[in-house]
Structure 1
Amino acid sequence: MEELRHEITSGELKPGQLFSENEIAKKLGISRTPVRDAINALVFEGLVEQIPQVGIRVREFTESDLQELFEVRQMLEVHATNECSKIAKGNNKIREELTSITDEMRHFANQDNLQLFLMNDIKFHHRVVDIAKLNFVKSIIEQIGNRIKLTGFYSSPTQSEMHEATDEHVAIANGIYAGPEFAGGAMLEHLMKTIIRINKNTNYKLK
C-alpha cells in the first residue's frame, strides 16, 4: 500500500487519473488481492475513489475541500504544539532534537534539495505530535498532509520559500521551549504563511 500511496502523493498518479487493480498489480508484480486491500484503504483515507464499471480515480480536491483541510489542520496542529510545549518547556534535550531537524531543513534548503527538505519538514511536524503523545491526532494529520500533497503545492516551493519555512520552524521550536503561551501562536503563524505560499504558487485563493 505504501508504494501505491507514494505514487499518488508524489504526483506520479495525478488527480483525476484513472487506473485499475490489474494495472497496479501488473506494475508492482503482485496479485490483485493486496492491491484491492490497498485501494480500499486509500478510499478510506480519501486519496482515491472507486467508480463502478469505470475504475479507480485519484481524487481531485476543490478549493473548498482544501480550505476545510487547512482549517482542521490548524486546529489539530496548534493544539498538538501547545500540548507538546507542556511536556517540552525548558527541556534542552527536546529543544536540541527539534533544532537538529531545523538544521537539516536549512542544509537542504541551501542545497535546493526539495525532496529531503520536505522529508525533514514533515519529520518536524510528526515529532511535535509524538512528543505530545497524541497518536490519534497524528494519524489524522498524516491523512490531511497526504491529501494536501495532491494539490501539487509540495512540488512548487522556491529555495527562498524553503528558507522562510525553515525560519518558521525555528520559531516553533523556540516557542515550544518557551511555553504553550508562545508555541501555538508560532505554529498558527507558520500555517497561515503556508496558505499564503500556496495561494502564490497555485490557482487557489485560500483564507
Structure 2
Amino acid sequence: MARATDAAYDAVRRMILSGEAVAGARLGEAELAETLGLSRTPVREALQRLGADGLVEVLPHRGARVVQWTRRDLEEIFELRSLLEPYAAARAARLAPGEDVLADLLGRCDAMEAAVAEGDFTRVAQLNALFHAALIEASGNRRLPAMLTSVMHAPLIVGTFRRYDAGEMARSMNHHRELVAALAARDPDWAESVMRAHIRAAAANLTKDGT
C-alpha cells in the first residue's frame, strides 16, 4: 500500500507542478484512481499528503482541489519571503561560504539557465527551489528552512516562471548569479539588496494582472 500511495503522490504532484492540473481544478479520487490504475485508498492518502505539502486543498465531503491563491494570499506569501530571504542572503554573505558552496550555487545557475533554454519551467522551478534552499542553508540559521517551506509553494513558483517574458526571465537568472557574486565578495548589503529585488520582481509578476 505504501508503494501505491507513493506512486499516486508522485503522479498527482507531477500533474500539479507541470500545470496539467491547474489552480482550482477538482481532484476526484475515483477519476484519479482510474487514470492511475490504482484503488481509491492510496489516492486518498496521496491527496492527504499533498494537502500537508500545501499543494492541495482537501474539502470535507467535497473531495480535493489544487490550491488556488487570492491576491491577499500572494501578498502575504511574498511579504514573508521579502523579510526572510534577504536576511538569509545577508547572513550567508557574512559567514563567507567556502568555494565548494559557491561552486555548487553556480552549478545550479548553469542548470537553471539550461532548463530555461529548453522551455522546461517545471525543471526551472525545481532547480530554483534547490538554489534558494542551498543559499538559505549557507545562512547557518537552522530554523529558516522550516519557516520558508511554508511559503515556498512549488506551483506558485512554476507559475511565476511561466508568466515571465524573456527580459524578466533573464533578470531572474542574473539575480541568481549576482547573489553568488555578493556571497563571494562577502558583501551582506549587496546580497540583501539583490534578494529583495528578486523577490519583489516575482511578486510584481504574479499580481500585475490583478490576480
Whether TM-score is above 0.5 comes out as yes
Contact kept, 8 Å, 1:19 with 1:56, in 2: the verdict is: yes
Q: Is the 8 A contact 2:109 2:176 kept in 1?
A: yes
The offset of 1:98, in angstroms, is 1.6
| Cα deviations by residue, 1:142-185 (Å, 9 ceiling, x for unpaired) | 44332652883332222222211111111111112223333222
Q: How many residues align?
A: 202
Q: How does 1:34-113 map to 2 (within 5 A)?
A: 34-87=42-95, 89=96, 91-110=98-117, 112-113=119-120
The TM-score normalised by the length of structure 1 is 0.80
Who is 2:181 aligned against? 174
One-letter code aligned to 2:61: Q
1:50 counterpart SS class: strand
* Offset at residue 59 of structure 1 (A): 2.3
Matched, 1:160 2:160: no
Indicate the percent of aligned positions where both proteins have the same amino acid. Answer: 26
Which of the numbers 125, 141, 154 marks the counterpart of 2:132? 125
CA distance in 2, matches of 1:135, 1:111: 35
Partner residue in 1 for 2:3: none
SS at match of 2:153: helix
Q: Which amino acid aligns with 1:66?
A: L
CA offset digits 1:98-129 (Å, max 9, x no partner)? 22222333444455554444343232112212
**Do structure 1's residue 183 and structure 2's residue 196 form an aligned pair?**
no
Matched AA of 1:128: L
Letter in 1 for 2:39: S
**Cα offset, 1:18, TM superposition:** 1.6
| CA RMSD after TM alignment | 2.7
Q: Which residue of 1 aligns with 2:204?
A: 196
Rounded to whole Å, the distance in 1 between the matches of 2:144 and 2:40 is 32
Cα shift readout 1:32-90 (whole Å, capped 9, x = no counterpart): 33222222222233332233333212222110011101111222222322333243x16
1:163 maps to a residue whose letter is A
Is 1:32 aligned to 2:37, yes or no? no
Contiguous gaps of at least 5 residues in structure 2: 1-8
> What CA distance in whole angstroms lies between the structure 2 residues aligned with 1:157 and 1:37?
35
Give yes or no for contact 1:81–1:129 (8 Å, CA) kept in 2: yes
Gaps of 5+ in 1: none
State the Cα distance separating 1:191 from its structure 2 match.
Answer: 0.8
Tell me if 1:23 matches 2:48: no
Q: Is the 8 A contact 2:17 2:154 kept in 1?
A: yes
